[in-house]
Chain A
Amino acid sequence: MSLANTDNVSKSTGKQVSWQIKKAVTGNIVPIVFTLLCLVGAVIAEASPIFLLSSVIIRLARNLLLVFSLIIPVVTGLGLNFGIVLGAMAAQIALVAVTHWDIGGLGGFALAALLSVPLSIVFGWLTGKVLNKAKGNEMITSMMLGFFANGLYQLLFLFVLGGIIPMVNETIMLPSGIGVKNTVSLKGIKYALDDVLKIGYETLTIPVFTFIVIALFAFVIKFLLQTKLGQELRCVGQDMNIAATSGIDVDRMRIIAVILSTVLAAWGQLIHLQNIGILQTYGSHEQVGLFAVASILIGGASVTKATIGQAVLGTFLFHLLFIISPMAGQNLVGEPQVGEYFRAFVAYGVIGVSLGLHAWQKQQAKKHMLEE
């Protein structure tokens, strides 16, 4: 009996080690797969590393805060908040206002940041209200909410501005005087934040100040999650029932999470647009949710778990892939149009693949539990 026992033990430790390796791989399967994809893509694209690096750095500065804005709702158990599109809209409304008043520079940027806060709080509150009615289906609900809000947004910019609210400004408005132009130049606030402090080296530019601001927000998010408020948010995220029985106001916490996310997203969109310098009035916000979600998923975050580190890694990999894939596509097929197709393909494909991989991961874990 005892012999059989020891035999069993040694077998199980051997199994343990191989399981641990397997677990490390399956646990990080998403970032691993995408890192490999990036490597293969980079080889095919034959891109110079310095070019890739400089492109990715610019895109990191542009997008990180938007991706960060997804973390709090995930921690609170709301899944990936596609509703950050509403935050982006708030930012764009503020930007159009600032541009209309012709306030430029860092002051204009700060004013836009300030203006977007009340707007995004209201949007976030409304989103939170809706999501509380749709517990368990937050992701698809927030996505649809984004599409719905887009309709209202278009109504505002196409008819209400100039049509109902008088607004005279030749550079922004359509020639008819009703509705805002398709593209609005943001030259007043272009690089407002980036230009405070940046380091250039040959073709490489690093917007240091923007990165400092982003790091500050990362710190704020970390700090928030360590306070009593954060503890309650995390508690709600893990189990709404247990949270409720221990006296936490679940609905309120969820609304707070969505509001924080929406405000962060608004500021994230401002940082994004000050770098790009052009507002696509009817398009800039549309892909915001999609790209941010794709980024954080690539970093290994899931519907239930997301960290700052995953957001940074994910944004890096996603945008690297985003830059590489059209080049690789062109090198493979020799047709620039194919490259564009590859971009869209990558963004949607990434979400599909990483959600699929996460589901697979969960299944593996479950299977293992049964075998144990």
Chain B
Amino acid sequence: MSEPILQLLDISKEYYGNKVLKNVSLTVHPGEVHALVGENGAGKSTLMNILFGMPVIHSTGGFSGQIIFGGEQASINSPKDAMEKGIGMVHQEFMLLPGFTITENLKLNREITKHNVVSKLLGEKLKSLDMEAMRKDARKALDTLGVDIDEMLPVEGLPVGYKQFIEIAREIDKENVKLLVFDEPTAVLTEMEADLFLKAVEKLSASGIAILFITHRLSEVMQVADNITVIRDGEVVGRLTREEATIEDMARMMVGRKIDRIEKAKKIHNGSQENILEIRNLRVDMPGELVKNVNLDVKKGEILGIGGLAGHGKIGIANGIMGLYRASGQVTFKGEKIKLNNPKDALLRGMAFVSEDRRGIGLLLDESIEKNIVLTAMQVQGKFLTKFFAGVNFADSGKIRGHATKLIEELDIRCTGPEQLVRRLSGGNQQKVCIARAITLEPDLLFVSEPTRGIDVGAKKIVLDLLLKLNQELGMTIVMTSSELAELRSICDRIAIIYDGKLEGILPPDADDTDFGLMMAGGHSDKAKEVS
């Protein structure tokens, strides 16, 4: 085989003492399609950030290991370095200007210009654009990809698939590209678009460009990749060629980890037949977490987990139902339709929400613990108020203090007292304050999003135990959304996997790793076992 174009040798990287990459090595040859497979948080993005010299890497202490590009040791300190060396990157989020035409976007700040009368006098900047030449280049790049679309159309309103192709066309229009990195390129594509895209990838690799393909759609990997590297928790756990790989193997490697199931003392009969919440055709316009069409039932008394990879819309569900982002569809709670886009209505009917954005919208950081705990109940339900005249209410500080003290004790919030500012608390204790506020509402249904994000391992377990306790002792129905599958499997009765804004399937927590892996990667749901 020819000289490798890219070699990564023993790459390790720490973020604040937290090892996210451990001696990762990778070799890519010209014309090869190399797939990098792994779950969210496995370290794929970090690896690519290193390859691309992103500032975030260098501002957090750099990395160890070597990058050899084109046979030479390369030091890549900025994205510009990477581009000059011939590494192109197609980003997950589009770097396209909606109001520009495809051609203009392709040639962004690399426009072909020609002189006119004015520019000869006043300088380069006033040169006219040579739209004809730009058009030709754009056409050529699009033809290389096999995309039949008018290059003078504005980007705005194009289907996402085309946008993806324009991004790619922009990279291959740069003359010296030797290696192209695709970061989950098909995540936003429909199946047909994805097929087109994969064909384009094959064409590109046939022309000698090496391709590094980050994805978790395993069927696509099987379709185009020559070699596959699977990483999990920052380590390479498998290197396969296409011939020896099977989807099931990859899925198992990707997900596989030990699960500590917190055994429940089954006090309440979980998963009764009665639906407490019925979601029909839910769409939520939450940027980055678009929910496209979800149908889901929540049974009274259960803990339902909602899982899936980042960006597929699992976070949007709770946010949509609680009215934080624009939603449409039909949601029935305890037999009554709720008004969407109206947080107050959702709260009044007995639903509560612990947001994933704890510091942003979950807490008033510069207020005391007690205020944070009673705020929503005071506002929505009129609790903790003393009434003087009709309409003139004062906070009942005695009651508030009593309630807060009780909850601080029950939830074991480590603090100096109910008056401490929430900002000073650790992540785990802040999360407990959020939960305390939610249960102050005495909800029948509690939504919890990413309850353990950004808190340390010990505190994670406490938070999960607490959720379990609420469910077991108070009979609270809990819908928990989390990116960490292990955590969902530890306490949930059923786990719904969301893929591409839709429900892919529901699995029992003790289902096979392979099934979870397949579902999260959009594999065919026929293998899924419905739990009733």
Q: Which residues of A contact B (CB under 8 A)?
A: 223-224, 226-229, 231-232, 234-235, 238-239, 242-243, 245-248, 366-367, 369-371
B252 at the interface (CB under 8 A from A): no
Known A-B contacts A235-B108, A247-B109, A370-B326; A227 and B96 likewise in contact (beta carbons under 8 Å): no
Q: Pick from B100, B128, B283: contact of A238, CB below 8 A.
A: B100
Partner of B129, one of A224, A228, A243, A366: A228
A9 to B81, CA, bound (A): 50
* A234 CB contact (under 8 Å) in B100, B110, B116, B128: B100
Which of B119-127, B307-315, B404-412 lies on the face that meets chain A?
B119-127
Q: Are A228 and B100 in contact (CB under 8 A)?
A: no
Known A238-B97, A245-B79; further 20 A-B contacts with Cβ < 8 A: A227-B113, A227-B125, A227-B126, A227-B128, A228-B111, A228-B124, A228-B128, A229-B126, A231-B111, A232-B109, A234-B99, A235-B109, A238-B100, A242-B96, A245-B95, A246-B109, A366-B326, A367-B326, A370-B283, A370-B326
Q: Compute how far the CA of A370 lies from the CA of B110 in the bound complex, rounded to whole angstroms.
A: 35
* A-B CB contacts (within 8 Å), total count: 61
Docked CA distance A228–B79 (Å): 24
Proximity bits, B69-102, A CB within 8 Å = 1, else 0 = 0000000000100000000000000011111100
Closest to B104 in A: A231
A245, closest chain B residue (CB): B95
B328 at the interface (CB under 8 A from A): yes
Bound-complex Cα distance A227 to B118 (A): 10
Please tell me the size bucket of the interface on B.
20 to 34
Shortest distance in angstroms between A156's beta carbon and chain B's nearest beta carbon? 32
Complex Cα spacing A89 to B234, Å: 62
Q: In the assembled complex, which residues on chain A have CB atoms less than 8 Å from the CB atom of B345?
A: none
- Expressed in whole angstroms, the minimum distance between the Cβ of A126 and any Cβ of chain B is 22
Would you call B109 and A370 a contact (CB within 8 A)? no
Provide the residues of chain B in CB contact with A226, threshold 8 Å.
Answer: 128-129
B285 interfacial by beta-carbon distance below 8 Å: yes
Chain B contacts for A238, CB-based, 8 A: 97-100
How far does the alpha carbon of A75 sit from the alpha carbon of B108 in the complex, in Å? 16
Residue of B at shortest CB range from A227? B126
B positions within 8 Å CB-CB of A? 79, 95-100, 104, 108-111, 113, 116, 118-119, 124-129, 283, 285, 326, 328
Q: In the complex the two chains form, is B108's CB within 8 Å of A369's CB? A: no
* A197, B485: Cα distance in complex, Å: 79
List, in ascending order, chain A residues with CB within 8 A of B124's CB.
228
Q: How far is the CB of B204 from chain A (nearest CB, A)?
A: 22
Give 6 pairs: A residue, B residue, CB < 8 Å, sorted on A.
A224-B126, A227-B118, A228-B127, A238-B97, A246-B109, A247-B109
Q: How many Å lie between the Cα of A369 and that of B284 in the bound state?
A: 11
A370 to B290, CA, bound (A): 10
Residues of B within 8 Å of A235, CB to CB, are: 97, 100, 108-109
Residues of A within 8 Å of B125, CB to CB, are: 227-229, 232
* Cβ-defined contact, B285 with A369, below 8 A: yes
Is A228's CB under 8 angstroms from B113's CB? Answer: yes
**Cα separation A289 to B110 with both chains bound (whole Å):** 36
Q: Return the chain B residue nearest A224 by Cβ.
A: B126
8 Å CB contact of A223 from B99, B118, B283 = B118
With A228-B113, A235-B108, A248-B109 as contacts: A242 and B95 at CB distance below 8 Å? yes
- The CA-CA distance from A21 to B343 in the complex, in Å, is 34
- A235, B100: Cα distance in complex, Å: 8
CA of A369 to CA of B328, assembled, Å: 11
3 closest cross-chain pairs (CB), A and B: A246-B109, A238-B97, A229-B125
Which residue in chain A gives the minimum CB-CB distance to B156? A238
Of chain A, the residue at the smallest CB distance from B290 is: A370
Measured between beta carbons, the chain B residues less than 8 angstroms from A369 are: 285
Residues on the A chain within 8 Å of B97, using CB: 235, 238-239, 242
Q: How far is the CA of A13 from the CA of B326 in the complex (A)?
A: 26
Once the chains bind, are A227 and B127 in contact (CB under 8 Å)?
yes
Assembled-state Cα–Cα distance A370/B325 (Å): 11
CA distance A371 to B110 in the complex (A): 37
Please name all residues of chain B whose beta carbon is closer than 8 Å to the beta carbon of A231 when the two chains form the complex: 104, 111, 129
The residue of chain B having its C-beta at the shortest distance from the C-beta of A367 within the complex is: B326
CB distance from A357 to the nearest CB of B (A): 21
A232 to B126, CA, bound (A): 11
User: Bound state CA distance, A232 and B99, in angstroms?
Assistant: 13
For the complex, what is the distance from the CA of A251 to the CA of B96, rounded to whole Å? Answer: 20
In angstroms, Cα B96 to Cα A243, docked, is 10
Give B109's nearest chain A residue, CB to CB. Answer: A246
Instruction: Specify which chain B residues have a CB less than 8 angstroms from the CB of A370 in the assembled complex.
Output: 283, 285, 326, 328
Instruction: Evaluate contact between A371 and B99: CB separation under 8 angstroms.
Output: no
- A248 and B118 alpha carbons, distance in the complex (Å): 22
| Residues of A close to B285: CB separation below 8 A | 366, 369-370
Question: CA A371 – CA B113 in complex, angstroms?
Answer: 42
> Of all chain B residues, which has the CB nearest A242?
B95
Q: Which residue of A lies closest to B284 (CB)?
A: A370
Say yes or no: A227-B108 contact (C-beta < 8 A), given A245-B95, A370-B283, A370-B285: no
Cα distance A238–B104 in the bound complex, in angstroms: 13
Q: How far is the CA of A69 from the CA of B326 in the complex (A)?
A: 38
The smallest C-beta distance from B249 to any residue of chain A, in angstroms, reads 36
In the complex formed, the residue of A with least CB distance to B118 is A223
A242-B108 contact in complex given A227-B119, A235-B97, A235-B100, C-beta closer than 8 Å: yes
- Nearest-neighbour CB distance to chain A for B487, whole angstroms, equals 31
* Whole-angstrom CA separation of A52 from B426 in the bound complex: 71
Point out the residues of chain B lying under 8 angstroms from A234, CB to CB.
99-100
Residues of A contacting B127 with CB < 8 Å?
227-228
Min CB gap B133→A, angstroms: 13
Q: Which residues of A contact B113 (CB under 8 A)?
A: 227-228
Minimum C-beta distance from A246 to chain B (A): 4
Q: Which residues of A contact B98 (CB under 8 A)?
A: 238
Residues of A within 8 Å of B108, CB to CB, are 235, 242, 246
